Structure 1
Amino acid sequence: MEITMEVRNETTIQEFILEGFPAIQYLGNIFFLVHLLAYLASITGNVVIIIITWVDHRLQTPMYILLSTFSFSECCFITTVIPKLLSIFLSGRQTISFTACLIQAFSFLFFGSIIFFLMAVMSLDRYLAICKPLHYTTIMNLKTCFHLVTACFALAFPLITGLVVKVFQLSFCGPHVILHFFCDVGPLIHLSCSDTRSVDMLAFVLISFILLTSLLITLIAYSNIIVTVLRLPSARERQKAFSTCSSHLIVLSLMYSSCVFIYVKPKQRNRLDSNREAALVNTVVTPLLNPVIYTLRNKQVHRALRDAVSRVRLQKQSFGG
């Protein structure tokens, strides 16, 4: 028991070094500015979606409540990674404590899992709206929407908590350099001097389950949507529907392909360098595209934004008068 406590105490006071992107370290200021602008744009777009959804009663429908929850999760997801990456680019401070590292790993996987579960639920919502329009309001009401959102959080929490607890129980006795720009479970597990085969397999099984289950649901939903759209009599209606679906599918393809590349393989040791580039797609590129593709191109959101701006102007005029 004493030996176990000794190892645990030694482990909890360790600091890790996030390697980041050593090949482009001399361009730190430029990449700081680029990533800062991308982060602020993502946060702004998602916060606008959340505010508009909860302020405008016309958008308080299952579709937009799911989207606002997705936006909230997206804000949390990128905030677990980007601020630390910005500090690496700007100040070169690459150290992170063991506790902060585990918190970052948990938050990244937890909110990432919620995002994928929500994408599956949102694809089902679109399937019901397009393929079963007469039954949509009966099946997808606000109560059902609340239960589905709760289920996404409730399912992600025990899965990710169990995995991170297993990682916490590993021993770390050097080296301390994480070959990534944030604390992800794969690079963290590979630094352990314990036998990591069971934890490696657990991580592979859990993350594969989350990704492939949500991907399967999404593919089935969009396959049915595409079949229904092809049966529409009007070419203009088909073009409009495909325009919306294609933009959604581009983002889905980026997210799923990059995550499958990173996680759905039992052995990652030889591909950690390429994982960093793929992770940038999830943490920078798709969060920047999602607000634009999912809602800011939506006419109802545009109308709600215009109305909100008009109300603010009227209030200012009244106050000025």
Structure 2
Amino acid sequence: MLIIRKIISVIAFIATCVTASNIVCEAPLQTTCIAIEIEKIESINETIEIVGSENGAQYYPAVTGFYAISKDLDMQYIPSNIFKIMPNLEYFYAYEVNLKQLPTDSFKRCSKLHQISLAKNSIETLGQGFAIGCSNAYLLDLSYNQITELTAASFKGLTSLTTLTINFNFIEVIGKGTFDTMPVLTLISMSMNKISTVHPNAFMKLSNLGSLVLNDNRIKVIKSGWFANKNFLATVNLQSNEISAIEPNFLTEWTSSNLNTTKSFNYELNLMGNNCIKTNMKEISDKTTKYYENSLYKCFEEYENNYFFKNFP
């Protein structure tokens, strides 16, 4: 019951932040939540002394939520000992506070952290193992930043992560093994980037992947390896890319993997807005696979004629 109340509390708080200009914790400062708002808080220094607050922060063992949400707060970096001062943090939100970097070990002693949201900042690079201690985190949101490159080393330690959202960045390549350190991922959302190349084995080890969202990128070729060894892959959004060629057996590989799990599985594939797609395809199922194969004939032909013998990952 306590867990349910916490979830409802977090959802209600997030909704309040979106709709209201003032950030208000549900409980008083030092009880369960610290909210940073520019009208009350001037800055956060290296020792987590909150300058301008009525009570200078020294040690907050009861705090489970840290929320910094302000266009005027120049946070720039995450203070190195924040999890020493607040050892029981479960939710960490730093939204639009001008974060510029996530160096190695940005998060230390964060074993109780569940959700990390660093959206709408100015982050360009992810340090190796920036969240190395966050073994229980299940959500990471890095949307609306300036990230150009992803590596497996950056995500090291996030072994329980199920949701990864990196929309609206500048990523161009998804390489081999990028997500291998996050084996239980169920959702990857990387829409509105500049992705043109996806390694055929980029998602190979993600057997639990259920949704892959890569719309509005620059992907040119679909490789069947993306869909291999998936037990639950139900939704793939590749709308508005530059796809002109598709490896012919990608449908067979995808549907057969899912059919091994359940006979009544529904699939959704969105390929609208691509070069070789004339049919407005929104859904695919085991009953209509043949229809889609016929519709994609030109894509298959393009792949076999122009990409089969080329090293085009």
Same fold (TM over 0.5): no
Identify the structure with the greater strand proportion: 2
The structure where helix makes up a greater share of residues is 1
TM (norm. structure 1) is 0.20
Relative contact order (C-alpha < 8 Å, sep 6+): which is higher? 1
